[in-house]
Structure 1
Amino acid sequence: MPIIVNLDVMLAKRKMRLSELSEQVGLTLANVSILKTGKAKAIRFSTLEKLCEVLQCQPGDILEYTDETHDEK
């Protein structure tokens, strides 16, 4: 998938546990884990907004686009 989720990187930078993020964002631990592992197929803007608010970052700090066609060459 060409979208990489760097949620684990932001958690490490903020020295925050997944469970703490889950509580502050208002999502279940399972849903935050799905986001963190990159298995989510979509994310609501309201969720992204809350993640950025809690982690004090920009959406681009969490989500990254990679061009798979260039990576294969």
Structure 2
Amino acid sequence: MGIQINLDVELARHKMKLGELSGRVGISATNLSILKTGKARAIRFSTLEAICRELNCQPGDILEYVPERDGDFHSRGVDAH
């Protein structure tokens, strides 16, 4: 699985909509939605910092490492060694 994005959890915890966060951090709702759904391939530290500032949270509250299952490496053609 890799990195899991928990932005929706933090938004719910703060009773904040994606559009409100977008306005506060100056990032389009579309780009935040891509991040929230886990479709983003990268995130800038400045973006992560702005999100954490507005949600009063730590990066680890938003990003979580979820280990791959044993079969996941081979099913994608990646050698685990």
TM-score when normalising by structure 1: 0.92
Q: Which is worse superposed, 62-71 or 27-36?
A: 62-71
Q: Please, which runs of 5 or more residues in structure 2 have no aligned partner? A: 73-81
Q: CA deviation at 1:3?
A: 0.2
Q: Please, which runs of 5 or more residues in structure 1 have no aligned partner? A: none
- State the SS of the aligned residue for 2:4: strand
RMSD of Structure 2 on Structure 1 (CA): 1.5
C-alpha separation between the residues in 1 aligned to 2:57 and 2:22?
16
- State the SS of the aligned residue for 2:40: coil
TM-score when normalising by structure 2: 0.84
- In our comparison, the structure showing a higher alpha carbon Rg is 2
Q: Which has the higher helix share?
A: 1
Over 3 Å counting, the alpha-carbon distance change for 1:2 and 1:25 in structure 2 is same
